[in-house]
Structure 1
């Protein structure tokens, strides 16, 4: 849905004000509004995006997604932009991505020595706990973030310790929830806007508990949910069992690679389980 241009400034100001009142977020998160409302379906902006070398298996109007493991996915656009989520020193894609996002929680979610060939290293936090704000156009990909809080090992709150990164390409909005530790507010949901794919941590312990994660996923209403951050099959099954019967279909794929497009999104909301090992 396209926002009428005269209303953009009004919506932006209102959203900033609302987010400033939210306990779990900051005004810097408002750029996520752009994913569905300010870019989607805009052919002028699409013509402006230069093309680089495309991924071999990603056709125009498609996005490639490969589950590498833990919380790391490789996202590939038709224009050749590659992203590694929660880039770290333990689980990495074989290729050097153009973009790497990272989160603070544990060393399996960030790297102190990212490959120097990465063009954009996007940390989802600041050491001084002030908000961090991303609003990047990289060829045919847009990247934004919405910050949330995390707990430290004593249970104390670290403000702005996690970012939900939002990626938009081929008119698809993909959200990586990172190391989410709490449910989302009404303002958070509004800032994220329309999401098509949610990459969700489902361990139920180190991140958000299962009931809380189910609440988040229901509120986001994305057609596709892809589990991540589970430590064994029983952890995954616990999430799937609890989520079954909640109007979501469950699909298990044999390949860690998935090609997504707006035209092929499932009509019934679906949890797609990808095996790690991209």
Structure 2
């Protein structure tokens, strides 16, 4: 399966069958979403402008905005209710975490998760092979709390998202603080916007952090 990073918290996940999902498409945040993106489905973790630009995605996609189980042409999608803050949603509302089962891999997109780690949430999220996790803090978990999620979920691959870049105007932290939580040999700053993964590739016992780069 392929993962294309489109910036911020937006990814295009594509199974070998061609079924594809775009996560959290954004409106202009200093830069704009790449043009001519199509998908079979779009997931929206919460209804904020930097996560809900569904009109920018072509292909007449199915729109998913809630928790529950969905079967999308053989791709299993599970939406899990969570919170955008540490106060049970009192500050910023609810957030939907989405898990995708593609080509035998479990991919988890945490959206704008803000709540602290709990055993109850761990049970709902496991297993996870590839974790897409916010690390910029302020509106989401910060780098230290993100590391706690990684330690508990123990994915083979971690891809940071929702962090400050040179071209973005969102007032959050850069990804470096999160990268510094790991040993240098476990971090790959790959300068690519698209990667391919298969079940056979994920044989490492230690978690690998891959910082992707929006190149369009």
Which TM-score band (shorter chain)? 0.7 to 0.9
Structure 1 equivalent of residue 176 of structure 2: 237
Distance 1:167 1:206 in 2: 24
Cα RMSD between the aligned structures? Answer: 2.4
Verify: 1:75 aligned to 2:13, yes or no: yes
Distance 1:112 1:271 in 2: 29
Taking structure 1 as reference, are residues 78 and 181 closer, same or farther at Cα in structure 2, changes over 3 Å only? same
Task: Give the C-alpha shift of residue 105 in structure 1.
Answer: 5.7
Which residue, out of 115, 118, 125, partners 2:60?
A: 118
Taking structure 1 as reference, are residues 116 and 253 closer, same or farther at Cα in structure 2, changes over 3 Å only? closer
Which residue, out of 75, 85, 91, partners 2:23?
A: 85
Distance 1:67 1:115 in 2: 14
Taking structure 1 as reference, are residues 105 and 82 closer, same or farther at Cα in structure 2, changes over 3 Å only? same
Unaligned 5+ segments in structure 2 are 167-172
- TM normalised by structure 2 equals 0.85
Q: Which runs of 4+ in 1 moved over 6 A?
A: none
Task: Give the C-alpha shift of residue 170 in structure 1.
Answer: 0.9
Structure 1 equivalent of residue 118 of structure 2: 185
Structure 2 equivalent of residue 218 of structure 1: 151
Alignment of 1:7-156 (within 5 A): 63-90=1-28, 91-93=32-34, 94-104=36-46, 106-111=48-53, 113=55, 115=57, 117-123=59-65, 132-151=66-85, 156=90
Distance 1:204 1:158 in 2: 13
- TM normalised by structure 1 equals 0.67
Taking structure 1 as reference, are residues 182 and 264 closer, same or farther at Cα in structure 2, changes over 3 Å only? same
* Bigger CA radius of gyration: 1
What SS class does the counterpart of residue 175 from structure 2 fall into? helix
Structure 2 equivalent of residue 169 of structure 1: 102
Task: Give the C-alpha shift of residue 171 in structure 1.
Answer: 0.7
Structure 2 equivalent of residue 255 of structure 1: 192
What is the aligned residue count? Answer: 203
Distance 1:254 1:99 in 2: 27
Task: Give the C-alpha shift of residue 205 in structure 1.
Answer: 2.2
